[in-house]
A and B are shown apart, each in its own frame.
Chain A
Amino acid sequence: AQSVTQLDSHVSVSEGTPVLLRCNYSSSYSPSLFWYVQHPNKGLQLLLKYTSAATLVKGINGFEAEFKKSETSFHLTKPSAHMSDAAEYFCVVRYSGAGSYQLTFGKGTKLSVIP
């Protein structure tokens, strides 16, 4: 069975400081991993994805995530937070074994950016 744990429900950073949103996954097979962002009243937007190529993945808006198999982690980072980064972030895993393509979501981390 696959699952995703986002370790923080709420993270608050000052504008211009680094962002770290933590995610650990559990999967019996090599997973595909994603980070989605949701701004208020908007749909879920894909930030980046890992699908067994390079372990360091670059996404939109300056975000990055590193796949660490030994730690079963896929933490999201950004060197310098911007006010527009304030949103809810979801870590998502997809296990494509046995013909399943459904996404499994973490509970989400709400990011607040303080001016």
Chain B
Amino acid sequence: EPEVTQTPSHQVTQMGQEVILRCVPISNHLYFYWYRQILGQKVEFLVSFYNNEISEKSEIFDDQFSVERPDGSNFTLKIRSTKLEDSAMYFCASSEARLNEQFFGPGTRLTVL
């Protein structure tokens, strides 16, 4: 069964460093998403991406965040200058169409020291 994959499973970085979280969505899906979950809090929407551009973003998704689909398979989330409060589990998801089920990856745990 096709699934969304994410790498790495755990990333540790120093405050102020740039990180790139990688996702491989399901191959025939056209909509891509990033969510995050800070420990003990709710899963929060960050951004959705379609047709090589951001279709929707939340207040959390400020200028330090960016997304990219650099090739036909990967979908990346870049955090330019990490802060302690960026420590969270980051989930990638994809869907075939806007109203279809979103399939989630297993997440990347980001720890900022």
Identify the A interface with B (CB < 8 A).
32, 36, 41-46, 49, 51, 90, 96, 99-108
Least distance between B35 CB and chain A CB atoms (Å): 7
Q: Which of A42, A99, A108 contacts B106 (CB 8 A)?
A: A42
Other 10 A-B pairs with CB < 8 A, given A49-B101, A107-B41: A43-B103, A43-B104, A43-B106, A99-B56, A100-B56, A101-B56, A102-B45, A103-B35, A105-B42, A108-B43
Complexed CA–CA distance, A107 and B40 (Å) = 8
Q: Which of A32, A43, A107 contacts B107 (CB 8 A)?
A: A43
- The 0/1 profile, CB within 8 Å of A marked 1, for residues 49-65 of chain B is 00000011010000000
Q: Which of B4, B56, B99 contacts A43 (CB 8 A)?
A: B4
Least distance between A48 CB and chain B CB atoms (Å): 10
Residues on B with C-beta less than 8 A from A46 are: 101-103
Answer whether residue B18 sits at the interface, using C-beta atoms and an 8 A cutoff.
no
Can you give 26 A-B contacts (C-beta < 8 A)? A41-B9, A43-B4, A43-B91, A43-B107, A44-B43, A44-B91, A44-B93, A46-B102, A46-B103, A96-B98, A99-B56, A100-B56, A101-B48, A101-B98, A101-B99, A102-B45, A102-B56, A103-B43, A103-B45, A104-B45, A105-B35, A105-B42, A105-B43, A106-B42, A107-B41, A107-B42
